[in-house]
Amino acid sequence: MLPHLDAAHNLARWLLRNEHDARDSVQEAYLRAFKAYAGFRGDNARAWLLTIVRNVCYTQLRRSIAAVPLEDFDEAHHAPVNDTAEAAARMRRELDHERVDAALASLPTEMREVIVLHEIEGLAYKEIAVVAGIPIGTVMSRLARARLKMQRALQQQLNAKDDYELQ
């Protein structure tokens, strides 16, 4: 029995965006956890393990030629998001899980990870702060920015779907 293996794999898979690297990174992370567990002093083992998974994944991303550089967060040049609740409701009705996955995959790594940790794994802000190594206030602002960016990505998916159906 290996606890949190689904959570570890899910995080690695979303961060690295391919199965092969995710498998390698999960194995590496559990090895590190195994070697370090005697030094573990806390009581949130899931956050501790996910921290290790994240570190292994970021090392892998930096090594990888295909790695997308860490994006800057200057959003001033982006068009304003469609801010209506009607747009969000339509997305919820019409987008299937493949398009929603595609929207998340298009986000910068650091935004993708807070969405994965919060919306899929259900971590609290303070746990995300531990995993990502950032202050809790940064978790709040990064998550808010990630959701705005997600709204744009979802809008693009909706537009693509409309275009496809017109053809």
Q: Which amino acid is at 126?
A: K
**161 belongs to the binding site for another protein (CB under 8 A):** no
**127 belongs to the binding site for another protein (CB under 8 A):** yes
Burial readout 9-43 (b: 16 or more C-beta within 10 A, e: otherwise) = bbbbbbbbeeeebbeebbebbbeebeeeeeeeeee
Minimum distance from CB of 143 to another protein (Å)?
6
**32 belongs to the binding site for another protein (CB under 8 A):** no
Q: Measured from the CB atom, is 143 or 167 closer to another protein?
A: 143
Compute the distance between CA of residue 142 and CA of residue 156 in angstroms, rounded to an integer: 21
* Backbone torsions φ then ψ of 128, nearest 5 degrees: -65, -35
Three-state DSSP state, 24: helix
- Helix, strand, coil percentages in the chain from 3-state DSSP, rounded to 5: 75, 0, 25
Minimum distance from CB of 1 to another protein (Å)?
6
Residues 99-118 within binding reach of another protein (CB under 8 A): 100-101, 104, 115-116, 118
Output the CA–CA distances (angstroms, integers) from residue 51 to 17, 48, 65, 125, 159, in the order listed: 18, 5, 23, 14, 36
Q: Choose the stretch contacting another protein; rule: CB under 8 A; options: 7-15, 54-62, 63-71, 72-80.
A: 7-15
**58 belongs to the binding site for another protein (CB under 8 A):** no
Binding residues with another protein: total (CB under 8 A): 67
Q: Which of 157, 75, 63 is nearest to 108 (CA)?
A: 75
**59 belongs to the binding site for another protein (CB under 8 A):** no
Residues in contact with another protein by CB under 8 A are 1-6, 8-10, 13-14, 19, 22-23, 26-27, 30-31, 33-35, 37, 40-47, 49, 83-85, 87-89, 91-92, 95-97, 100-101, 104, 115-116, 118-121, 124-127, 129-130, 136-137, 140-141, 143-144, 147, 150-151, 154
